[in-house]
Amino acid sequence: MLSQKTIDIVKSTAPVIAAAGPAVTQHFYQRMFSHNPELKDIFNMSHQQGPDKNTPSSQQKALFNAVCAYANNIDNLAVLLPAVEKIAQKHTSFLITADQYQIVGSHLLATIDELLAPGQEVLDAWAEAYGVLATIFINREEEIYQESNNKVGGWRGMREFIVTKKQRDSELITSFTFTPADGGQVADYKPGQYLGIYINADELEHQEIRQYSLSSAPNSTNYRISVKREAQGTVSNYLHNNVNVGDKVKLVAPAGDFFLDVKPQTPVTLISAGVGLTPMLAMLETLTQHQAAVNWLHATENGQQHAYKDHVKALANHHQHITALTWYNAPTATDRPAEDYDYQGLIELNNIATQIADPTMHFYCCGPIGFMQFIANQLISLGVTSDRIHYECFGPHKVL
């Protein structure tokens, strides 16, 4: 427990940190990577790059927001538990250790001292506050590690898998199926969760760690991810270009706080854009035996970029409770209305308002942040309460 003195000091100095802006976390990351360059093999260095050297990156902004939220809620940590869970889940896919929390803490305190020079009493208070938060994370992450290890087919740390299938699903998306090299089972997961993959290659400057949503329902035998080739994507391009059937990769057990969690009688709508369909596929396959209505709403540019079109159509045709609708933003000359897609342009939920009007329906959304904000605003305007809207951001988390 934190002392009241520490709480008072941290809350009183929080505005000073806030006024300094993301420059605090920008300095922190620069300092940490300078003193502990080995951490470049853990952090996604592409998330450290802002649009220019003077503009904080998305990761730096995310950490700054987290620091401010902690300081402002230090006397009511319960409100931070959802954020703690999200971060703890992600940390386990990076195999974060207790020792690394000590490194981070030392650089955070040094950053506050170097930029703001608040005095030893303030530094001691922030050190105590950081220690409490670090302990919360360390304990929760240890629980997740043990839960993963204790599952049938589970493990802790990295495990070697073999690529047993590589399938091109659209001009941008390719799927990879991984089977354990040891011949054992794989642990089940909650549809919507992601898999951690570790890439070490001579042509890459650092070890690269990424998380990709599992794109099929659990089957105890293998895992599948579906990866979009990003123009500047270090790992996505490496996977597309260099990883083939028969190759070995190292994976970390599934994790993540975004997953399907509904009762059998609860209607569900899955809304995605582009590669955001990946966690939705795992959910859709799981919902084939669902007792309530299921809507699949997907937006993509055109037929060339429409992954898993035939698969989703087959699921909808074979299961009467599933309805699948597709929007093409810019159909090509060969794309057929009512056959390849249902609507042109952006998803306009007013057009299907009666189909999603059930007051008990839950909505799961994944895609670019702008798309999810666009969808969330429409849902709210239709009277959907925030507790029925669930979403996943690829990269640093943002609030819709």
Tell me if 319 is assigned to a ligand binding site. no
Coil vs helix vs strand at 44: coil
Beta-carbon contacts of 350 under 8 Å, excluding residues fewer than 6 positions away, are 378, 382
Angle in degrees, CA 353, 329, 311, rounded to 5: 80
- Given the residues 29, 70, 130, 141, select the one marked as catalytic: 141
Residue type, 166: K
To the question of whether residue 15 is assigned a binding role by annotation, the answer is no
CA angle 347, 350, 356 (to 5 degrees): 90
Tell me how crowded residue 333 is: count the other CB atoms within 10 A of its CB. 5
Strands (E), the chain: 158-168, 173-180, 194-199, 208-213, 223-228, 248-255, 268-273, 294-300, 322-328, 343-344, 362-366, 389-392
Radius of gyration of the chain (CA): 22
Q: Which residues contact 356 (CB under 8 A, 6 or more apart)?
A: 269, 295, 349, 363, 382
Q: Which of 29, 101, 130, 198 is catalytic?
A: 101
φ, ψ dihedrals at 230, nearest 5°: -95, 140
279 among annotated binding-site residues: yes
**276 annotated binding-site participant:** yes
39 is in an annotated binding site: no
User: What backbone torsions phi and psi does residue 167 show, to the nearest 5 degrees?
Assistant: -135, 125
> Is 236 among the annotated ligand-binding positions?
no
**Rounded Cα gap, residues 211 and 219, in angstroms:** 19
DSSP-derived 3-state class of residue 283: helix
Q: Is 43 annotated as a binding residue?
A: no
Residue indicated by tokens 């994944």: 366
Residue type, 231: A
- The response to whether 210 counts as a known ligand-binding position is yes
Told to judge if 141 belongs to the known catalytic residues of this protein, a careful annotator would answer yes
Q: What is the DSSP string of 186-241?
A: -----TT-EEEEEE--TTSSS-EEEEEEB-S---SS-EEEEEE--TT-HHHHHHHH
212 is in an annotated binding site: yes
Confirm whether residue 275 is marked as ligand binding.
yes
- 194 annotated ligand-binding residue: yes
Tokens of 198: 């570790």
Catalytic residues: 101, 141
Binding residues for heme b: 91
Residues in binding site for NADP(+): 274-279
Q: Residues comprising the binding site for FAD?
A: 194, 210-213, 393-396
Give the annotated binding-site residues: 91, 194, 210-213, 274-279, 393-396
